[in-house]
Amino acid sequence: MDLELLTQRARVFRQIRAFFDKRRYLEVDTPLLAPDLIPETCLEVFETTYLAPAGSKSRKNQPYWLIPSPEIWMKKLIAGHRVSLYQICKCFRNGESLGRLHSPEFTMLEYYTMDADYEDSLGITEALFETLLGDPELFSGGMAEPDSFRELRPPFTRITVGEAFSRWAGFELYEAVRQGTLEKEARKLGLDPPRDLEEGALYDLIFIHRVEPALPRDRPVVLLDYPAFVPCLAQKKANAAGNAVERWELYVRGIELANCYSEEGESETVRRYFEREGALKRRNALVPHRVDGEYWKTFLPQGETGTPFPRCSGVAMGLDRLIMALAGKSTINGVLPFPME
């Protein structure tokens, strides 16, 4: 990376910090090594080991895992302090391709807003984009000219996942799930799934190969209201017949950039998620990791007043991809100071 673009990368970070500082979010700095992680069957992690000093009687060698997201730490801070938080940090995901859109080590922006839901987070994210795109100094060097950013500018186009399947896959998602015809629909689209594939995997297959590639590229697109059968720690959407959760993902130029939930704060729901996903992780993970069986207690009422886990919404955004878009690059390797390839 040349010095000009490196300087502009640093300016993006400063602008993001100024944006959240002005809104009285607390910047936090949490560990990159964790003794346990949230079980997520869609990704693999990196494992390392703490080596106890020779002859130590009080400590033993202990496995640790590099975090794929700071979520596990940030929610503990939220439970204890009930304050809006943000963090810019390195995250790590194993088993992914190197190159245009992925790097095993990447930079994440994660922010949690108190007394907010996913719609509030969408407004905050649009305001962040307006701030970045309104900075004339950002475009004085290696970044593209601001007039070229029509496809990044708010307001974002909002499309529900159900509407996206109707428009670009040609069928009603929830009706197909109800009737058990997702496999049939996949085959009608020219896909060839294995027999008896479960509905979540069929959904992913159709989404990745037919829906995602068809998303508009001339403006930012937010996909709203993900199906409830795709496991995540987002709240169920009210008045949605129980078939969707309050989650969105932001796409810029057809590339996934951010993921948001109205955060699930009910302890029993979190416990069941950890038990179910933890069992799948132990069975299927290439790199198994420890799951804290007591993590759900983070969401129990805290302190003498018995204060529940606060209503909040969190967003995770890939900053390397954001900078790639701002710089008009076609690959994140062009904006990483030291790409792995």
Give the C-alpha distances (Å, rounded to integers) separating 132 from 72, 137, 340: 28, 10, 27
pLDDT of residue 141: 55
Q: 121-166: per-residue pLDDT in tens?
A: 999 999 999 999 998 877 665 555 555 677 899 999 999 999 999 9
Instruction: Tell me, yes or no, whether 12 lies in a domain.
Output: yes
How would you classify the pairing of strands 221-227 and 244-252? antiparallel
Q: What is the rounded distance in angstroms from the CA atom of residue 324 to the CA atom of residue 154?
A: 18
pLDDT for 2: 83
- Which pLDDT value is given to residue 269? 96
In a domain, 264, yes or no: yes
pLDDT of residue 57: 80
Domain assignment of residue 177, yes or no: no
In a domain, 220, yes or no: no
Q: So what's the pLDDT on residue 149?
A: 76
**Total domains present in the chain:** 1
Domain CATH for 114: 3.30.930.10
Tokens 């993006």 map to which residue? Answer: 12
- 44, HSE (Cβ side, Cα atoms, 13 Å): 13
In a domain, 319, yes or no: yes
- DSSP code per residue over 219-259: S-EEEEEEETTS--SBPBPTTSTT-EEEEEEEEETTEEEEE
Q: Would 322 be classed as within a structural domain?
A: yes
Q: How confident is the model at residue 100, as a pLDDT?
A: 85
Structural domain includes residue 217: no
Query: What's residue 136's pLDDT?
Result: 81
Residues of the chain with pLDDT under 50: none
Domain range enclosing 107? 3-154+257-334
DSSP string, 71-134: HHHHHHHHHHH---EEEEEEEE-BS---SSS--SEEEEEEEEEET--HHHHHHHHHHHHHHHHT
Residue 225 is predicted with a pLDDT of 97
Whether residue 102 is contained in a domain is answered as yes
SS3 labels along 160-226: EHHHHHHHHCCCCHHHHHHHCCHHHHHHHCCCCCCCCCCHHHHHHHHHHHHHHHHCCCCCCEEEEEE
**What is the edge-to-edge ordering of all strands in the sheet holding 105-114?**
26-27, 85-92, 105-114, 312-318, 255-262, 244-252, 221-227, 157-160
d(C-alpha 50, C-alpha 63), whole Å: 6
Per DSSP, the three-state class of 1 is coil
- The pLDDT of residue 98 is 83
